[in-house]
Structures are given as C-alpha cells and as structure tokens.
Amino acid sequence: MTLEQLLSELNEQQRMAVTTDQAHCLVLAGAGCGKTKTIISRAAYLIAQGLPARNVQILTFTRRAASEIVTRVEQYLGESAQGLRASTFHTFCISLLRRHSKALGLGQFTVIDRDDQVMIFRLLRGKGKDNALPKAAQLCDIYSFARNTRCKLSEAIEKLLPEVINQKQQIAEVMKAYEVRKHRSGFFDYDDILAVVATHLHQSPAFLASVVQQHHVFLVDEMQDTNPLQWAILEPLISHSQIFCVGDDAQSIYGFRGADFENIHRFKSHVPNATVYKLEKNYRSTQQILDVSNWLLGQSEIAYNKSLVAHRKTQSTPQFHLFSNEFEEASWIAQDIYTRHHDNNTSWHEHMVLVRSAYAARHIERAFIAMSIPYRFIGGAKLLESAHVKDVLSMLRVVINVKDDIAWMRFLTLWNGIGDVGASKIALHMNTYTSLTECCDYLASKVNKIPTQAVDGLRQLADLTTQVETCMVLAVGLLTAQLEEKYQQDWSKRQKDFKLVEQLASKHQHLAQFLEEYVLEPISIADVKQAIVEDIVTLTTIHSAKGLEENVCYVPHLSVGFYPHARTQGDFDAVEEERRVLYVALTRARHELILTKHESVSWSYDLQDDQGRHVSGYFLNDFPSDLVDVKVHQRTSMNHGLQKASANGVKKISFDLDLD
C-alpha cells in the first residue's frame, strides 16, 4: 500500500493530525476512533517525507502494541521503514542505560521484578507477631507509588495506607535499607530504570544531546497512562525533538500505578505552542453501544467533553440480564456462548468476557470448564513469573550477575539440606567474589549439598551465554529432579511451561537480553499459547483489555459494590477511575454488548465529598431503561430503572525517593 492510499483511508480529523507540520501535538482519540491507525499513519507519513526511520521512537505501554505498530508501518512503506523503533518506556530507558553505561558511570547491574522486590522487603521488614509494619507487598506498593508520582513518602502512605501513617519513620528506615541492599547487589528495579534516565536527561547536557541526536521525533501512545516520572523523561526532550502524543482521558485506569490522566488536560500548559486534535468518529461499535458509554461519561463531574458518534449504521441494542446470584449469571454466560457457537455457527473467538480481576473470573471459568468451552485468560499468570520457571531462571541469573544474592538464594534453596538461613549466608559470601569461577570453586569445596553435576553445569552455562535456548534446556535438565520433588502435585502441568520458555529463548542472541526483556515486560502464558490455538473465547480483566475488541462482549457483575468497587466509596478520584474502568469495558464491543448483574440490591446512596463534588455510590442508579433490552431471569424485586437515593455526604532535580 502506498502512502497516498493510506492517507485516503483516514477521515478528515485523522488526516489533519497525521499530516500536521506542528512540532508538538496531542491527539485526543475516543475509544474505537482509530488511535492506533493514526499513530501508525503519522510514523509512515514522517518517514515518507524523508525522516529516517531510525530517528523515530515510538513509546507504548505494551510489547503487543509496539510490535503491531512497527509491523504495520513496515507493511505500508517496505524497506524505508527499516530501523523504526517502538518499545515501552522501560525498554526504551534500559536500552539507553545499556548503550551509555560507561558514560553514566553504571557498573554491572541486574533488573529485578516485583517478586524480587517483595522478597527483599520481606527480609528487611523482619518477622514476629508484634511486627506492626505493613506487609512486604504493601511496602513495595508504597515505595513504587512514591517514586512514580514523585511525591513524599508520607503522601504515598496517606494515599495507599493511611492507617499506618504513624509508622512513617520505621517505614522510611526500611526504604533506606532497601536502597542500600539494591546498590550493594547491583540491582535496578523498574522505578530505577526510569528515574536514572530522567535524572541524566535533566542534569547531563551531553546525555540529552546524545538522545535527541538519535531520536528526532517521539510518538507516545496511551498518553493518559503516563505517570509523573514518565513525564519527567519526556519533558527535557520537548525543546529538542518533536512530541506527538495520542491518548484518551476517559480510558485512564492505572491510577494505582501512579498514572495521572491530568497529563492530558495539562498538555498545552506543559508544552508550549502545542496543537490539540480530536478524533470522535467511532469505527468499532454501533451507536446504541456508544449511547451507553456516552451516558456513563456524561454522569461524571469531570468534563470529558466526549460524545462518540458511530461511523457504522448498524442497529444493535445492548442487552441487560438480571440474575439472582453469580452462579446463575456465570452459567447463563457460558450457555449463551455455547449456544451461539453450536446453534448459530459462531466462532468461539468472536466472544469476549470482561471482568474486574482474576478472582472475579472464577465462576465463569468453572462454567466454561463444565461446558468444555475453550478459552484463554488474559491478566492471569505471567509465564516467567511462575515459581517453577523463576527457579530455573535463578540459575541463569547468577551466571549473568554473580552478586545477584536474590537469585543465589532461590537457586540454593532448591537443594535438600539448604534452608533460608544457610542460603542467605552463602549468598552473602558470594558477594565477595567477582567471577562465576570463584563462586563455583567455593560451592564445589564448601557446599556439599549441591551435586558436582550442578556446579559443573554453572561453569558450562558461563560459556553458553550467546546460545540462549541451549542454556534454558541445560538448566531445566540440571534442575528437573529438584523441581519435580518440589512441585510433585502438579508437576506434569508445570513441566509443559518449559517448552514455551524455550520457545521464547530461541528468539534471543544473548542470555542477559532474554532475562532482561521478560522481566521488564512479562508475557502471559495465554499470549504464548495464542499462536497455537486460535479459535477460543477470550476471558480478560478490564485492565488487560485495552486495545482489544470483539464482536460479542459480555460485561458481568454490574452489581452494587462492583461499579464502583466498594473499597472506593466516598473517594471522588478513585470512584471516577472506576467509571473509566467500566467505560473501557463497554467500548470493547463491535456488534453486541451484553451486560449482566446479580443480587437483589438495585441502588446505592450517592455522597458528596468535602469539596462538594458528587460521588456516585452505584453508576447505574439512574440508568435509562430505553438504552438496553432488559431480561429478568428469575422473579425478583430488582428494577433496572434503579431509584436513586442521595445523601450529603541542569538544575538539581531528584527522581529518588523523598523520605519526608
């Protein structure tokens, strides 16, 4: 396809954004309005105008989106698109750190994931019945939120866990110890990767000059999901490179990670002479489906100024089914999909079910299994985060970084006779060595619980780091006996995962690159298996559904206490993010939208916060009955109209943790 053909497929709003000569732009693109097509077309347009592809950097939030954008640009332009880069913020930043490691004074470092962070916090927090500190996972959440939002530690505690604010000083001591532990072991966590790059972009003119010399244009996808730390990376680039951002403020649903959708609302004040374009013509859904999502946004006190209009003229009124309990609700969804497939000859893959969480999916999964409905769950276990896979990866990690004491502890405790205390002492001793040979010599002479074959295997792995698949096969073989004993209850199931990991390993040229990529961007088991089995139903969490769409979409559990979730009651910002979560779910449907709810409670009190803002207790309190076709599956007092009851109710800039 030529560029002219590509541009001819765009509507007037899209074409204006794609062909603009403005340096800095924000494209506000509603759900289904061609956001991805616009960013692809912009990249293709710039390259066709003579900008070398290697000077364009696309920043996305998922590996899948990055791959899709590059592939489609290459399909349009052919060889001239070679060299185009698309990656997540973390992958982009790690590439800069690796490329400029000497200039930035970085030594050898290993990227650790959340599980590793939690393990460190668990060790530092200590045990004991009288230990009142937050749990390790909570400490990790507080730490990461403070880093990503660039707020004080006390503010992060007040936001996430206000009941422990009186323990702020003790928490601060744990945070300090955590950072010391990272530095000693050569660890970088996710937040470090962004913070180090942001710091040097702001404080090192030479580093900034090197980055903008390579990257003349930045195209940023899902701008509404950026957090203050990510914005700090973009900010110094504005004076030197072009910034073209695409996003939808109504789809900002990652506030718990520190995402700030106000980055969109403040764009023009942050970026001098920026131009804003709007895309409001929806190519995905019918107007009746959009009427429901438009109504939902219209009930908010936040001025989204968004009313999507369907390009298609197809008529399709959404359905709303009411059940007495969640078991009947799940059973009906499974039965409906089964009937559509067997009686109407509809493919399995044309159906998608969107749930709040993996826990919320449990009854639907049971119903699918009972009716032999093939499905994949998106938002569940990440392949390389599974315990048995991480056990094997620990052996590979110490080959790359001998000071990785977390990996050493995991590897050592696989062997009978080595407990946590013993493993900790050995791991600390390993920190005194600088080479794997020294470590292996120590293990061979001092640690008789580890077989000679395993120690020799470590030496062999050190010579095979450019043969990643071979490393994986060798490590699995050396540890199979230990793993089979540890996971004997479901070993046959777990063992199959290693074939998938070997499949991923075969795509990489170096062991360090393989380990780093999947720590930064974990891949789900469903994603790996998808290429093998295509015709299956998609069951997904809403937070994993962005970018997805399907012909028939089911949104279950539209009950009081679910939308908004009970834990957000009275919190205006949290409730409004819940509204956006539901909006994302509603806008995934192409042809049919099927809503379901259970339980007899049909309304909830609304409140007013201390600023006088209306805080919804249940989004469907005033849901207009003429927007949907309602069916009650059991005689009940539920009323879909839902009565409402209300009650008043080089400047020195730091991207490190502020312990205040």
What are the pLDDT digits (tens) for 55-72? 999 999 888 889 899 999
> Tens of pLDDT along 417-466?
999 889 989 998 898 998 999 999 999 999 999 999 999 999 999 999 99
Average pLDDT, the chain: 89
Name which of 38-42, 163-167, 632-636, 641-645 the model is least confident about: 641-645
Binding residue ranges: 29-36
Instruction: Give the predicted TM-score (pTM) of the model.
Output: 0.82
Q: Is the pLDDT of residue 605 over 80?
A: no
pLDDT at 516: 87
> Tens of pLDDT along 184-220?
888 999 999 999 999 999 999 999 999 999 999 999 9
Q: How confident is the model at residue 532 (pLDDT cuts 50, 70, 90)?
A: low
Q: Which residue has the higher pLDDT, 176 or 127?
A: 176
**CA-CA-CA-CA torsion for 246, 249, 251, 256, nearest 10 degrees?**
110
Q: Which residue has the higher pLDDT, 657 or 193?
A: 193
pLDDT at 431: 86
Q: Could you check whether the bond before residue 451 is cis, i.e. omega within 30 degrees of 0?
A: no
pLDDT at 529: 55
Helix (H) or strand (E) holding 297: helix 287-298
> Tens of pLDDT along 407-422?
999 999 999 999 988 9
The phi and psi torsions of 351 (rounded to 5 degrees) equal -115, 140
Binding residue ranges for ATP: 29-36
pLDDT at 608: 78
Q: How confident is the model at residue 649 (pLDDT cuts 50, 70, 90)?
A: very low
pLDDT at 10: 93
pLDDT at 53: 96
The answer to whether the beta carbons of residues 96 and 195 sit under 8 Å apart is no
> Tens of pLDDT along 60-107?
988 888 989 999 999 889 899 999 999 999 999 999 999 998 889 887
Name which of 136-150, 235-249, 265-279, 338-352 the model is least confident about: 265-279
Most confident of 89-93, 253-257, 620-624: 89-93
pLDDT at 525: 58
pLDDT at 523: 67
Q: Is the pLDDT of residue 635 over 70?
A: no
Q: Please tell me the distance from the alpha carbon of residue 343 to that of residue 351, in angstroms, as a whole number.
A: 15
pLDDT at 1: 66
pLDDT at 530: 55
pLDDT at 637: 42
Q: Please tell me the distance from the alpha carbon of residue 234 to that of residue 132, in angstroms, as a whole number.
A: 40
Q: Please tell me the distance from the alpha carbon of residue 386 to that of residue 408, in angstroms, as a whole number.
A: 17
Q: Is the pLDDT of residue 33 over 50?
A: yes
pLDDT at 249: 86
Q: Residue 232 region, left (φ>0) first, then alpha (ψ -120 to 50), else beta?
A: alpha
Residue 567: count of CB within 10 angstroms of its CB: 9
Q: Which residue has the higher pLDDT, 230 or 517?
A: 230
pLDDT at 380: 63
485-500 in b/e form (b: 16+ CB < 10 A) is ebbeeeeeebeebbeb
Q: How confident is the model at residue 350 (pLDDT cuts 50, 70, 90)?
A: very high
Q: How confident is the model at residue 394 (pLDDT cuts 50, 70, 90)?
A: very high
